[in-house]
Amino acid sequence: MNSRIRIGSIAVFTALCAVTEASAGALGLREQSTEAQGLGFAGAAAGSGGVSSMFWNPAVITMRPGFITEQNLTYLGPSATITPATGTNPGFARLGGSGDIGQGAVLPAGASSYQINDRLWLGIATDAPFGLTTKPRQVWAGEVYGRSSRVFSLAINPVIGFKINEWLSVAAGPNIEYFRLTLRQALPIPGIQPTVYPSSFLKGESWSAGFTAGATITPWDGTVFGIGYRSSVHHEIDGSIGVPILALAPVAGQVRASLNTPDKLSVGLTQALSPVARVSLGFEWDNWSRLGTIGIVSKTLGVPVNSLPLNYKDGYYYSIGGEYDVNAALTVRAGFGYEISPIDFSNRSVRLPDGDRYSLNVGASYRWTNQLTLNAAYSHLFLDRSRILAGLGRDYNVGNIAFAGMVDSSVDIVSVGFRYAFGVPPVAAPAPLVRKY
């Protein structure tokens, strides 16, 4: 294989590596409940986010009598710039920074529960567990490592919940997941100036399934403890690589990669302090380290062609929040969250310039009628300033082209939603112990 083919291989196979990175890393989306967002997602596994808390713990459906539906719509407004630093290849450093790579996105999520009798509930949730949209300037210093990244996911999670007794409930169900991506990056070609490098692309998608399970414990009035689990989902990603140069055609074509998404454990506690005030705590663990090294196979060549040593750390999220019933109609809430990202200097890329973060969150609910409740929340995420280094000797290396950069980023999130209760419960059921409708 000549030098031009080798350079093309590196570029397009690095694009494939971004598949796994773009569907993992810090791209797990937590914004599945407007109500929980106002608390910084504290106590979400204990039902603080209403029926939408199914994302963290499906057993929360047994806390709501009757037929309940919740729909949430969240706008994520990320802002991130990557500035070239000392160590960047001089020929690329002159191309300048990325500009703002953040791309706004709207995230819908919904959940419904229906009480069959005094012991049995059915529920279903639709959400997007992973996502990414970033787009730097077309020509910039890190263009061979990323020009655009778009990742979309959808999960459908039907569950069955069972109230064993007055203090213990359990639930479980399948989690059906769809994953799709489109990634582009500059293709370095000898003899051509970086300002006119063409783009290679990768497109891929996968359907697969896992499961969710959980339990809620109410040891006494005013206290709810919840624990929930989302299993790993094994994806066999089928995709295609495209390159604009005829001489590189042998490295284009169909590819596949096996990816196991991280399993997730959520723990929550909600404690009533008075008839009108509650405090919640939350903890989440995401097993990102299970990704390890991802093997990459060219379906065109019929052989393994590369591997990707992601070496992600596990992710951890801690939160605390409180809410207060101003009157029978209005509830206000606030929360704080801190996340230890699975991405650090050792595995950070221009597609995922993520780092540790903390968030400030506020929200409110207004009970419009006995059946309809309106929810709203706002969050601001502060991310630590971080460094990127790619090139020779690093996990991310395209043609030994060195890139060093500094990342400055933040995220603003606005969410609105509603809860609607249809009719009356089919059987008498106790009201939630630490929440009211």
According to the model, what pLDDT value does residue 190 have?
82
According to the model, what pLDDT value does residue 252 have?
58
- Distance, in Å, from the CA atom of 295 to the CA atom of 299, rounded to the nearest integer, reads 13
According to the model, what pLDDT value does residue 121 have?
98
Q: Note whether 358 and 382 are within 8 A (CB).
A: yes
According to the model, what pLDDT value does residue 32 have?
95
- Segment 260-273, tens digit of pLDDT: 889 999 999 999 99
According to the model, what pLDDT value does residue 131 have?
86
Here the tokens at position 387 are: 């460094």
DSSP string for 257-275: EEEEPPPEEEEEEEEEEET
24 phi, psi to nearest 5 deg: -140, -135
Residue 35 confidence (pLDDT) above 50: yes
Q: Note whether 151 and 185 are within 8 A (CB).
A: no
Q: Where are the beta strands (DSSP E) in 87-233?
A: 105-115, 120-127, 132-134, 148-163, 168-186, 199-217, 223-230
Q: Note whether 154 and 128 are within 8 A (CB).
A: yes
- Average pLDDT over every residue of 13-18: 37
* Partners of 282 in the β-ladder: 268, 319
Q: Which of 335, 377, 378, 375 is nearest to 358 (CA)?
A: 335
- Average pLDDT over every residue of 210-221: 97
Going by the DSSP 8-state scheme, the letter that residue 328 receives in this structure is S
Here the tokens at position 201 are: 């692309």
Residue 368 confidence (pLDDT) above 70: yes
Q: Note whether 35 and 56 are within 8 A (CB).
A: no
Q: How far is CA 295 from the centre of its chain?
A: 23
Total residues belonging to the chain: 437
Specify the amino acid at residue 6. R
Diameter of the chain measured on Cα atoms: 77
- Segment 307-361, tens digit of pLDDT: 566 778 999 999 999 999 999 999 999 999 999 999 999 989 898 888 999 999 9
- Segment 133-168, tens digit of pLDDT: 889 999 999 999 989 988 889 999 999 999 999 999
Residue 7 confidence (pLDDT) above 70: no
Q: Whole-prediction pTM value?
A: 0.88
DSSP string for 335-403: EEEEEE-S--TTT--SS-----EEEEEEEEEEE-SSSEEEEEEEEEEEE--EEEEESTTSSS-STT--E
According to the model, what pLDDT value does residue 1 have?
40
- Distance, in Å, from the CA atom of 34 to the CA atom of 421, rounded to the nearest integer, reads 17
- Among 229-233, 283-287, 297-301, 316-320, the least confident range: 297-301
Q: Note whether 315 and 285 are within 8 A (CB).
A: yes
Q: What angle do CA 366, 381, 44 make, to 5 degrees?
A: 50
User: Which CATH number does 3-422 carry?
Assistant: 2.40.160.60
Q: Note whether 319 and 339 are within 8 A (CB).
A: no
Specify the amino acid at residue 201. F
Residue 19 confidence (pLDDT) above 70: no
- Average pLDDT over every residue of 376-393: 94
More confident residue, 82 or 431: 82
More confident residue, 292 or 74: 74
Q: Note whether 72 and 81 are within 8 A (CB).
A: no
48 phi, psi to nearest 5 deg: -65, -20
The mean pLDDT value of the chain amounts to 86
Handedness of CA 352, 356, 362, 367 (dihedral sign): positive
Q: Note whether 154 and 110 are within 8 A (CB).
A: no
According to the model, what pLDDT value does residue 306 have?
58
- Segment 417-437, tens digit of pLDDT: 999 999 755 444 334 445 443
- Distance, in Å, from the CA atom of 156 to the CA atom of 141, rounded to the nearest integer, reads 40
- Distance, in Å, from the CA atom of 398 to the CA atom of 212, rounded to the nearest integer, reads 39
- Average pLDDT over every residue of 185-190: 86
Q: Note whether 62 and 54 are within 8 A (CB).
A: no
Q: Which of 320, 350, 301 is nearest to 88 (CA)?
A: 350
Residue 187 confidence (pLDDT) above 80: yes
Here the tokens at position 50 are: 């209403």
- Segment 42-70, tens digit of pLDDT: 999 999 999 999 999 999 999 999 999 99
- Segment 222-265, tens digit of pLDDT: 999 999 999 999 999 887 777 665 445 555 577 788 888 899 99
**428 CB neighbour count, 10 Å cutoff:** 8
Which residues does 29 contact at the CB level (< 8 Å), separation at least 6? 107, 127, 128, 129, 130, 131
- Segment 99-138, tens digit of pLDDT: 999 888 899 999 999 999 999 999 999 999 988 888 999 9
